[in-house]
Amino acid sequence: MQTPAPGTLRILHLSDTHLTGDGALHQGTVDTTAALEALLDHLGAVDGVGLVVVSGDVSEDGSPESYATVRRLVGGWAARRGAAFVAVPGNHDQRAGFRRVLFDGHVLGEGGQELLHTMEHHDPSVPVRGRSLVAGRRVVTVDTSVPGAGYGEVGAAALEHLRTALAEPAPHGSVVVLHHPPLPAPTSLHDALKLRNPGELAAVLRDSDVRVVLAGHYHHHFAGSLAGVPVLVAPGVANDADVTGPYDEETALVGTGALVVDVAEDGLLWSTPVRVPRPDADQRALHLDAETSARIAADSGPA
């Protein structure tokens, strides 16, 4: 891959690592720790990464052990390259375990330096809020998870956090990282689990200095825009949704990928999807028939 031009912030965008604390296979089929290791290994030759983000569903079980794994693997990869490391919770994450290991999600700052955090107690009802400055870009993480549910929402506290963070323009613009994308969902299950209030997010993004919104959740690469701001959805590390199947069924294939996103000083944005070749790729990792999809949608969607 080309080396980023001077002044460009290169972001390695990972999502949906679904790590388990006890090594249990994701959906009974995928060793997600091995998938993450294979991906990071494959990306080892990519030059000039200044920031690594994991845009939610970091953990499958919310255990501190699973967050320690992401801290070790992704944080270690970032630190060795002098890159910052930022994560945000998704619907599978649990805020208590997340905070215990990853604090406010801004773990490593510019140059891969450990950021200092004071251990504060937060009730799990309080969204994880963080921001940092990397190469002149403000990186704002917005927690769209709703405790106990699968769908997403930018609640009042998270919206206020974003509004406050964006109140003053950053030298080279801002980057927003969140889990539930403000884009249409590819299947009926994901439609039930989508972001409920993209309009409220759009109102804050409109006329802001945000250059890109980085999201996950759909386990497949999508690109779109909201209020004129590009929205990039990273492929899943855990598996790859098969979006060509029936709308009311959910199928995912064995497959691991990421985005390499270049954000230039002049506003140019360039995203390169990366997929890791694996011997068992494209076998089914998950299949939910229409009835099972509908039941999960009813259990995890809005009341």
Residues in contact with 298: Cβ distance below 8 Å, sequence separation at least 6, in sequence order: 192
> What is the C-alpha to C-alpha distance for residues 78 and 111, in angstroms, rounded to an integer?
9
Of 48 and 152, nearer to Fe ion (C-beta) is 152
Least distance (Å) between residue 48 CB and Fe ion: 29
Of 64 and 90, nearer to Fe ion (C-beta) is 90
Which ranges of the chain would DSSP assign to H, the alpha helix? 32-42, 64-80, 95-102, 156-165, 188-192, 198-205, 290-300
Of 62 and 90, nearer to Fe ion (C-beta) is 90
Burial, 201: exposed, middle or buried (Cβ in 10 Å; 0-12, 13-18, 19+)? buried
Sole window of 38-46, 184-192, 212-220, 233-241 interacting with Fe ion (rule: CB under 5 A): 212-220
Q: How many CA atoms lie within 13 Å of 265's alpha carbon, on the beta-carbon side?
A: 8
Of 91 and 141, nearer to Fe ion (C-beta) is 91
Least distance (Å) between residue 180 CB and Fe ion: 7
Least distance (Å) between residue 81 CB and Fe ion: 27
The shares of helix, strand and coil residues in the chain, as percent rounded to the nearest 5, are: 25, 30, 45
Of 90 and 97, nearer to Fe ion (C-beta) is 90
Name the closest residue to Fe ion (Cβ).
Answer: 217
256 three-state secondary structure: coil
Task: Find the binding residues for Fe ion in span 213-272 (CB under 5 A).
Answer: 217
Of 4 and 150, nearer to Fe ion (C-beta) is 150
Least distance (Å) between residue 295 CB and Fe ion: 17
Site size for Fe ion, by CB under 5 A? 4
Q: In one letter, which amino acid is 238? A: A
Burial, 153: exposed, middle or buried (Cβ in 10 Å; 0-12, 13-18, 19+)? buried
Residues in contact with 90: Cβ distance below 8 Å, sequence separation at least 6, in sequence order: 16, 55, 56, 57, 58, 144, 145, 179, 180, 216, 217
Least distance (Å) between residue 258 CB and Fe ion: 16
Task: Say if strands 9-14 and 49-54 run parallel, antiparallel, or are unpaired.
Answer: parallel
Least distance (Å) between residue 90 CB and Fe ion: 4
Query: Is residue 145 at the binding interface for Fe ion, with CB under 5 A as the rule?
Result: no
Of 58 and 253, nearer to Fe ion (C-beta) is 58
Sole window of 200-208, 211-219, 255-263, 285-293 interacting with Fe ion (rule: CB under 5 A): 211-219
Task: Find the binding residues for Fe ion in span 44-103 (CB under 5 A).
Answer: 57, 90-91
Least distance (Å) between residue 92 CB and Fe ion: 6
The site for Fe ion (CB under 5 A) is made up of 57, 90-91, 217
